[in-house]
Amino acid sequence: MKKSIEIVKTLLIPKLEKDIYFNRLTFKDAFWESFTLSFLNYENDAKPTYELLYALQLDNPEIIFDKLATIYSKLIKELAEDYVIGNHDKATDFLFQNNNPTFQKEVRFLETMQQAIKSVERKRIKADLPTTYERLTFELSETEIAAVAKKKGREDLKAKFKQWDEELKVKSEPTIFYSLGTETKSVQKTKIISLSWIKYAVAACVVVTAGVLYFKFSNNNVDSLMQQDENTVVTIDEKKGNDKNPPIEKPIETYITSTSEVSIQYPSSLGYTNTGTAKPITVYFKDASFTIDRLKKEYTVSDKGAGSEPRAKALEKQLQLLEAKSGKYEFDVKQLIIYSEKNKEPLSILTTDEKTFYLKRGNQYSYLYFTKIPLLFQPVKEATLIEQLEKISFENE
């Protein structure tokens, strides 16, 4: 009953407050209890409710009477909701036992609605269950967010550049118009004058530079010839560099790549077995062992030479990058990149539920996670899962 009294208070007091004599009123608990009890029967007999309100000696009780039907409807709805949720009390029991039609109609609707909601939600949860784990563990790495933000930032900047270009075009036109009388003639004149001046200046520079260089080199040749005649010792120009230390910028074949296409193997229950309709995944084997060996040799040589620290550091960095990826993999829906040499072991990709993928190399199974960051292969250890994968593999052979 306490809950019903609280609901009645919440609904009725704001209406009573509008009456000018409200401040003179004092409400005792007994009043609210008797009012709530009589109000619960308002639909069958409104008289006791009116009498209790008249007893309050309000300035204009009729205004409150007009609103009683709405208040009653709200009260019944709230009590019906409570009843359907399972919170039964004296008030709900009273309404139920007295076969209150409004209450019963509301309860029936809410019960049906609850069942309908249960049905729809159960279907949704059941459909979502296989992917719930992926949703729970899905997170974006900082590098992915940074890459997207970078791309978006660049696009925005490019858009701004275009906008500025447009503004520049618009701004440059009136200046030309102002400087010379007629529009077309003036533009042509300005361009001809400036271009021809630059042309002559550049030509003069080229002639002067060529002259100076010719003079300098001819003198050097004469000097060296004279030195060779006098002295038989041959010297090497230090600026030319050491042939044993080729620069790191020299293009190096980083990976020896070989590719193959592999079809995903599904469990027969998914209805894909041997259909050949599923899209194949391209497997790239990227073998950097040759490059790593070569870099290591170069690093050993360059490390000994004095003044070759930057080169050694660059080699070391490149080596570290290649070694960090070695033996790892990257995977998405279309391709699998394996950073190792292609061996003769048969390779296949399996899935149990179209969401979780596994790699089979020889007789070994490993998890395949969607990743753009190279990951080490994590072997499958659970016996039941291996059994399941072997079954899929067998069915697809």
Contact residues: other proteins, CB under 8 A: 77, 109, 111-122, 125-126, 129-137, 267, 269, 378, 381-382, 384-385, 388
d(CA 177, CA 183): 5
In the complex, what is the shortest distance from the CB of residue 346 to other proteins, in angstroms, rounded to a whole number?
25
Residue 359: φ, ψ to 5°: -110, 135
In the complex, what is the shortest distance from the CB of residue 106 to other proteins, in angstroms, rounded to a whole number?
10
In the complex, what is the shortest distance from the CB of residue 338 to other proteins, in angstroms, rounded to a whole number?
21
d(CA 115, CA 107): 12
Q: Are 16 and 26 in contact (CB under 8 A)?
A: no
In the complex, what is the shortest distance from the CB of residue 12 to other proteins, in angstroms, rounded to a whole number?
16
* C-alpha dihedral (78, 80, 83, 88), degrees to nearest 10: 70
d(CA 340, CA 329): 9
In the complex, what is the shortest distance from the CB of residue 53 to other proteins, in angstroms, rounded to a whole number?
25
The residue among 56, 50, 65 whose CA lies nearest residue 15 is: 65
The residue among 356, 350, 357 whose CA lies nearest residue 396 is: 350
- CB nearer to other proteins: give 62 or 139: 139
- CB nearer to other proteins: give 264 or 385: 385
In the complex, what is the shortest distance from the CB of residue 138 to other proteins, in angstroms, rounded to a whole number?
10
DSSP per-residue letters across 174-209: HHHHHHSSSHHHHHHHHHHHHHHHHHHHHHHHHHHH
The residue among 320, 319, 326, 359 whose CA lies nearest residue 340 is: 326
In the complex, what is the shortest distance from the CB of residue 2 to other proteins, in angstroms, rounded to a whole number?
17
- CB nearer to other proteins: give 116 or 204: 116
- CB nearer to other proteins: give 133 or 164: 133
- CB nearer to other proteins: give 137 or 184: 137
Please report, as a single letter, which amino acid is at residue 254.
Answer: T
Please report, as a single letter, which amino acid is at residue 10.
Answer: T
The residue among 54, 70, 91 whose CA lies nearest residue 14 is: 70
In the complex, what is the shortest distance from the CB of residue 77 to other proteins, in angstroms, rounded to a whole number?
8
Residue 38: φ, ψ to 5°: -70, -35
In the complex, what is the shortest distance from the CB of residue 157 to other proteins, in angstroms, rounded to a whole number?
34
- CB nearer to other proteins: give 112 or 274: 112
- CB nearer to other proteins: give 98 or 102: 102
The residue among 293, 322, 299, 323 whose CA lies nearest residue 311 is: 299
User: Would you tell me how many other CB atoms lie within 10 Å of the CB of residue 45?
Assistant: 10
Question: Tokens 């409570």 label which residue?
Answer: 82
Q: How far is CA 145 from the centre of its chain?
A: 7
- CB nearer to other proteins: give 87 or 289: 87
Residues, the chain:
397
- CB nearer to other proteins: give 126 or 334: 126
